[in-house]
Amino acid sequence: MAVGKEQVEIVKARTDKRNYRRVVLTNSLEVLLISDPDTDKCAASMDVAVGSFSNPEGLEGLAHFLEHMLFYASEKYPVEDSYSKYITEHGGSTNAFTASENTNYHFDVNIDGFKEALDRFSQFFLKPLMSADATMREIKAVDSENQKNLLSDAWRMNQLQKHLTAESHPYHKFSTGNWDTLEVQPKAKGLDTRHELIKFYEENYSANLMHLVVYSNESLDTIQNLVEEKFQGIRNIDRCYFHSPGQPCSLEHLQILVRTVPIKQGHKLRIVWPVTPEIRHYKEGPCRYLGHLIGHEGEGSLYYILKTLGWATSLSAGEGESSLEFSFFKVAIDLTDAGHEHIQDIIGLLFKYIGLLQQSGVCKWIFDELSAVCETKFHYQDKIRPIDYVVNTSSNMQFYPPKDWLSGSSLLSKFCPSIIQMVLDELSPNNVRIFWESKNFEGKTDMVEPWYGTTYSIERITSSLIQEWMLSAPDENLHLPAPNVFIPTDLSIRNAQEKVNLPVLLRRSPYSTLWYKPDTLFFTPKAYVKIDFHCPHAGNSPEAEVLTDIFTRLLMDYLNEYAYYAQVAGLYYGINQTDSGFQVILLGYNHKLRILLETVVEKIATFKVKTDRFSVIKETVTKKYQNFKFQQPYQQAMYYCALILQNQSWPWIEKLETLPLLEAEDLAKFVPKMLSKAFLECYIAGNIDSSEAESMIQHTEGVLFRGLNPLCQQLFPSQHLTNRVVKLEKGMSYFYPSEGLNPSDENSALVHYIQVHRDDFKMNVKLQLFALIAKQPAFHQLRSVEQLGYITVLMQRNDSGILGLQFIIQSTVKGPGGIEQRVEAFLKMFESKLYEMTADEFKSNVNTLIDMKLEKHKNLSEESAFYWREIYNGTLKFNRRESEVAELRQLSRQELIEFFDDYVKVGAPQKKTLSLRVYGNLHSSEYIADNNSESSQPHPVKIDDIFTFQRSQPLYGSFKGGFGHMKL
């Protein structure tokens, strides 16, 4: 029986129909039960109040290593990896993460597999088996994970900030672990890592430190009985919660300016203060209030001034790492080259703005406005995947009283100026830490952070020096934001006149098509609008593609101070480049969405190039392309795959080479030409009626296509753009070798792509079923057993309706050729498993896939993304899921085997393979050998030049037809 079943009134959103119950088991395990009769998936998350801060001295990464080890096996389920296999076979997913003061384990699964999945999950905390064999392999996995992070600026800078704190504080430590900390050093000290691991688990994992959330379609009583049965046996040794010893910074770590060298191009400034943790005052929200103002982007804000001066391209502010005992308030600014030269002025302006906040006092109207935004956001929040919901909630349970487990710190309800003022006073020059990143500091630093090798130097700065910077900073008109006109006041739900379950073609003209789908599922006051501008001139050369990129960024730039208010109020917008032009997306409360849309369209129609902003955006885009070479090797391999397969795509290096030649006048000439010919493909969904949707597009057409001097003209039938994909030859195997672009990166990568077919329901389900059955065995064999690398994935691929499979593996252990051999060995080994599959196993997998396909969309953006893909690809199969389920119900085991034999099996007659091999510096000799090999074998065929190869291959037909690609 549960000890505590006293009913706590848990604050939930007005629109939330789920039922909740808090129970405390006899072993003091605190549990939140969630009953959702409408759910298609069940989920659970266990949050254990033991994290990397609890690592024993000299065993950095042990808590993280334990998180890895618990997945392997248990006394009750001793077959290695059977937990993950069970979850995958029942349509689910599973993961975990280790934070400073907690470790979170979670999974989701189809409803019919939940009871056993929960039993398997509970064994992590009852009787895990931590075998010696698995221990050694998983140390390698932790090391591979760390290897992936070594050249990541985010990881490097985070560790540098930790490094420059008191050595006695756990925040100072290295948390991830690697081969050295988990194998070499313990061995040198005579320690057995596995013994230490078991000891750590037994001494720290106690039921009283655990919080469990269980999400199911069953009644609360049924879930409670299940939880009591599965989790009552977790032992409670009454461990105390870990409490970090106050703030990690002593006086020597304050009033410092740290110059440091990043991996990527660009300059960043991070200004950090230790402050009182907001968790202690979450109803008053001091950091939320101050972050809202210091991070504001409207006119008069700090960012607006820095942007106007041409010194910054982004700014964010708010609480960073935090716990009950310490916290940091951070302001992060991306600088331009000019901004890098004005660092003292920028810091001076920041402290001037903080001074303005001191003079203005804490404003009740600003707090009330922020509180109203937060309240609307909470009460009209979208439903999210159960796995994400349980993770968010279990993470809250350690820190908040039960009534606030769902809301956490998202509701500001107490206006208390003294608490906000207390944190504002902490943002002082006496308390500051400044981290300044730039490649310009290369060769000018004198210290090295030990874990990631980041070079840096430290300079002391005083309050009086910052006062001087404030006095000499430009005299700009900094002021508080204006009242927010975008806050929605009409949150009423429109009744869809017709119950439309699939998108309908509402309107068609020579200029546009409009697909429309009213909200019949979610009943939230939100809408989704997408307008895709197909412009033939936008992507017909590398220069055109770069100019389109700059154009979309400039549009966002011009709209920013106006539209930032809309974003604060929960109405989001984006203008993004696409393969065939650009698209405008709006998502959020529908009440004032049309005002924002009309403003965006007007900005497009009246676009003028501002030379100063052009220069800033050109610099940003240049750095984006320069930083391509610092992408992870597997990302580089995926890029080469897309470049080979997708017709008419331009390589990043050509785009980079065109940039220095482009000037503001080139863009001024280009934009009218680009917009002179356009076709708009539109999708409107949500809480908007059909007449309003039609009227929005009529208005857009009126601005762009009608009038005395229309900006745009309709496309000729020959100009409608299509996405076409290279058709590989049957029975052929190709490979493209390339050296990793970053010579410092030791990782190699392979993308092994098997092209299968053009979109067809029957073929689709065979491919999907194979991928479902093979996914976990591939991960287990290649990642867990063979330890090729942390990133090991088997997944489907869809290029404009051309479908296939891809293995994505990144490794320091083997070069790409060696990885490829292991992939083929896996496929040979998997053959027999597939052939030996029983009729019951086959049926179980089919039913799992059917359940996954019939899973309802959780929210409007998820639904819209699904239907938009059909529109964008031209497939227009809006009833795809039901049609594929019908095919699945007819599918036989023999048909799946024949599919494998024809398209996937090593040496299959119809198999079409393309391997993208990226060689890290550990495997450069293999690159030379593979690149020089002129094999006498008919295949694999080496691709020497991507574009020569591409031009020599046939293309699949596009699903997009002629005029407006309509096939009605």
Q: Which amino acids are annotated catalytic? A: 67, 138
Closest listed residue to residue 84, CA positions, set 139, 136, 123? 123
Q: Residue 813, SS3?
A: coil
Q: Residue 4, SS3?
A: strand
747 Cβ contact list (under 8 Å, min separation 6): 147, 148, 632, 633, 634, 740, 789, 810, 811, 812, 920
Taking a C-beta distance cutoff of 8 angstroms, is the pair 71, 135 a contact? no
Cα–Cα distance, 369 to 748 (Å, whole number)? 51
Tokens of 924: 């450069």
Cα–Cα distance, 203 to 340 (Å, whole number)? 50
Contacts 24+ apart (CB under 8 A), 127-130: 127/74, 127/75, 127/76, 128/69, 128/70, 128/72, 128/73, 128/74, 128/75, 128/201, 129/72, 129/73, 129/74, 129/75, 129/78, 130/69, 130/72, 130/194, 130/197, 130/198, 130/201
Residue 435 host element (H or E): strand 433-437
Any idea which residue has 């599918």 for tokens? Answer: 891
In 648-712, which ranges are continuous DSSP H helix?
652-658, 664-676, 690-705
Cα–Cα distance, 233 to 215 (Å, whole number)? 20
Taking a C-beta distance cutoff of 8 angstroms, is the pair 193, 183 a contact? yes
- CB-based burial, 76-95: b 16+ in 10 Å, e otherwise: ebeebbbbbbbbbbbbbebe
Residue 821 host element (H or E): helix 816-835
Taking a C-beta distance cutoff of 8 angstroms, is the pair 501, 519 a contact? no
Taking a C-beta distance cutoff of 8 angstroms, is the pair 115, 45 a contact? no
**DSSP letter, residue 255:** S
536 Cβ contact list (under 8 Å, min separation 6): 580, 677, 715, 719, 721
Cα–Cα distance, 224 to 1 (Å, whole number)? 9
Q: How far is CA 575 from CA 207, 505, 534, 554, in A?
A: 49, 24, 13, 10
Backbone φ, ψ for residue 58 (5° rounding): 80, 5
Backbone φ, ψ for residue 777 (5° rounding): -60, -35
936 Cβ contact list (under 8 Å, min separation 6): none
Q: 330, exposed or middle or buried, with CB in 10 Å at 0-12, 13-18, 19+?
A: buried
Taking a C-beta distance cutoff of 8 angstroms, is the pair 236, 206 a contact? yes
958 Cβ contact list (under 8 Å, min separation 6): 722, 723, 724, 800, 874
Q: Residue 413, SS3?
A: coil
Taking a C-beta distance cutoff of 8 angstroms, is the pair 176, 146 a contact? yes
- CB-based burial, 350-367: b 16+ in 10 Å, e otherwise: bbbbbeebeeeebbeebb
User: Kindly report the CA angle at 413 between 412 and 419, in degrees rounded to 5?
Assistant: 75
In this structure, the strands spanning 256-260 and 433-437 are parallel
DSSP 7-57: PP-----TT---EEEEEEETT--EEEEEE-TT-SEEEEEEEES--GGGPPT
User: Kindly report the CA angle at 247 between 245 and 253, in degrees rounded to 5?
Assistant: 125
